[in-house]
Amino acid sequence: MDDRFSMAGRVAVITGGGTGIGRASALVLAEYGADIVLAGRRPEPLKKTAAEIEALGRRALAVPTDVTAPDECRALVDATVGEFGRLDVLVNNAGGGATKPLMKWTDDEWHEVLNLNLSSAWYLSRAAAKPMIDQGRGAIVNISSGAGLLAMPQAPVYAAAKAGLNNLTGSMAAAWTRKGVRVNCIACGAIRTPGLEADAKRQGFDIDMIGQTNGSGRIAEPDEIGYGVLFFASDASSYCSGQTLYMHGGPGPAGV
C-alpha cells in the first residue's frame, strides 16, 4: 500500500453512513486503516455497516443523528472525540431530494431539502473543524452532485443546495487550509444507490439508461466514489483544497 493513501491511526465521521455512497466510503476508508464513526437517522443500517467495518479489523461507532439539527451535529463530534480522542476526517454525505416541476414545490419542502443538503454541512463542518484545528490537521470531504453544475428544472431545490455546497467548500477551504484543515468536494453523477433505485422505480425508468449519456456508458458503483473520498481524505491530496471534483463517467456524445 502506498503510504500516501494510508489512513492508519485516523478517525473518520461519515454522515449517511449506513447505505449507498456513505457505506461504500466507510468501507474503503476502513480498508485503508481508518476507524469509522457512522451517522444517520436510521439505526439499523448504521449497525449493519458498523459490523462490516469491524469485520475488517477496524473500530466502528454508530451514532444516530439528525444532521439538520445543530445540537445533534455538535453531539456527534463530541461523541467521536470522546470515544476516539480525535477527529481527522469528516465526510458530509447525507443528502437527497425529490423531483417534480418547479412550481409544485412548497415552502416547507424548500427548507427541508436545503437543510438536508446544505445546512447540515454548515453545522457539522464548523463543529468538526474545532478539534481538527486544535490538532493541527484534518480533511473535510463534501459529497455534492452534478446537479449543482447544471440547470435542473425537475430538481431545482436539490440543485441549488448542491451548488451552494460547492461554493461553501471553497469558502471553508479559504478559512481553514492554513490552519491545517483541507476542504474538498466531489460532485457525483448517477450512482447506483438505494435512493436512485427507489426514484427510478417510482417514476418507471431504467437507471442503467442514465449511464448511456456519459463517456463511460454506465452509472457508477458507490465504491468508485469511495475511492475519490479516500483521495481527498488521505495525504495523497495534501496539496489540494477548495476543489470540486466532478466524477460523472466522462463527457458523453453531447459533450457534457
Q: What order do you get walking across the sheet with 89-92 strand by strand?
A: 60-64, 35-40, 11-15, 89-92, 138-145, 181-188, 244-247
Q: Are strands 89-92 and 138-145 parallel, antiparallel or unpaired?
A: parallel
- Amino acid, res. 148: G
DSSP label at residue 99: -
Question: Percent helix, strand, coil in the chain (nearest 5)?
Answer: 55, 15, 30
How far is the C-alpha of 73 from the C-alpha of 118, rounded, in Å? 13
How far is the C-alpha of 147 from the C-alpha of 39, rounded, in Å? 24
How far is the C-alpha of 30 from the C-alpha of 11, rounded, in Å? 9
- Amino acid, res. 204: G
Active site (annotated) includes residue 158: yes
How far is the C-alpha of 33 from the C-alpha of 23, rounded, in Å? 15
DSSP label at residue 116: I
How many helices, marked H, and strands, marked E, lie in the chain? Answer: 9, 7
Query: Cα–chain-centroid distance for residue 6?
Result: 20
Residue of 123, 158, 239, 246 marked catalytic: 158
Catalytic (active-site) positions: 158
